[in-house]
Amino acid sequence: MLVVTNTIKVKEGHGATLAQRFGGANGVQAMPGFVRLEVWHSAAKEGVEELKVCTVWENEEAFKGWTASPAFRESHRGAGGNEVILGASLDKYELVISRQPEQ
């Protein structure tokens, strides 16, 4: 399993609206190897809110397939011109331990 996090810093008051963009059908749900998407939103600190967009993939190849797809390009079209986004960083993590509640 691979988790990819995109940490997006936005101007205060715009995080919830931007987060809603990830709730629509943007093609990622149909990609081979896609497991799930979660969006986490932090409270504002010093005028900046943070969104952490986490996608879970079966493997690195599945993630690369998404980033090379026409659906990826379409879903990110115009994102660079968004004046509420202050910055972003992408990180990848390999799952090494997972625990479930005892039944």
Q: What residue ranges do the domains of the chain occupy?
A: 2-94
Q: What is the pLDDT of residue 80?
A: 56
Q: Which of 3.30.1950.10, 3.10.129.10, 1.25.40.10, 3.30.70.100 would CATH assign to domain 2-94? A: 3.30.70.100
Mean pLDDT of all residues belonging to the chain: 92
| For range 68-93, the mean pLDDT | 85
pLDDT in tens, 52-66: 999 999 999 999 999
Q: What is the pLDDT of residue 21?
A: 87
Kind of pairing between the strands at 2-11 and 34-45: unpaired
Find tokens 């995109």 and name the residue. 6
Sign of CA dihedral 78, 82, 86, 91: negative
